[in-house]
Amino acid sequence: MPKPIYIINGPNLNLLGQREPDIYGYQTLADIEALCTKQAQAHGYQIVFSQSNIEGELVNQIQAANKLGSAVVINPAAYTHTSVALYDCIKACELPVIEVHLSQPHAREDFRHVSYVSQAAKATISGMGAQSYILGLDAALHLLTLN
């Protein structure tokens, strides 16, 4: 069994389903976890799925993935636009890291147009709702098959 793919979620994503559904949709984080589990299993991978509202816990999760996982799919949520700590951590991570967003930040407020995470991640997928996670997972799986 290969090492698992870590899927890491940032602040307020625990509120999906009730949080601004016109932007983020009606699927809950548990719904997204179920979709990701199915997609990963179809390719012979397990996932480790987590969410935290705390920046340092996201750093800890990425560091854990670097030791125990094969790839990272991360929706850093608001920390996308502010976090040098996540940038540094992803730079230090030896695994492929794919950034995903439900919405398309570049079509929203100006402060969402900067992503510290994009400057360190291997690829970014955004604007596809929950499907962004599946496409992110597919991107990670693709990179893993190249190795």
Both tokens assigned to 90: 């992803």
Instruction: State which of residues 28, 50, 82, 103 lies at the interface with ligand DQA (CB under 6 A).
Output: 103
Q: Does 78 bind ligand DQA (CB under 6 A)?
A: yes
Task: Clarify whether 24 is annotated catalytic.
Answer: yes
Q: Does 51 bind ligand DQA (CB under 6 A)?
A: no
Task: Clarify whether 106 is annotated catalytic.
Answer: no
Spell out, one character per residue from 111 to 140, where the chain touches ligand DQA: x when CB under 6 A holds, - when not: -x----------------------------
Q: Whose CA is closest to 142, among 93, 91, 89, 70?
A: 70
Q: Does 80 bind ligand DQA (CB under 6 A)?
A: yes
Per DSSP bridges, beta strands 97-101 and 5-9 are unpaired
Q: Whose CA is closest to 35, among 105, 121, 100, 108?
A: 100
Q: Whose CA is closest to 10, among 94, 142, 116?
A: 116
- 10 Å Cβ neighbour count for 39? 19
Nearer to ligand DQA, 94 or 110 (CB): 110
Residues that bind ligand DQA (CB under 6 A): 12, 75, 77-78, 80, 101-103, 105, 112
* Catalytic residue positions, numbered: 24, 101
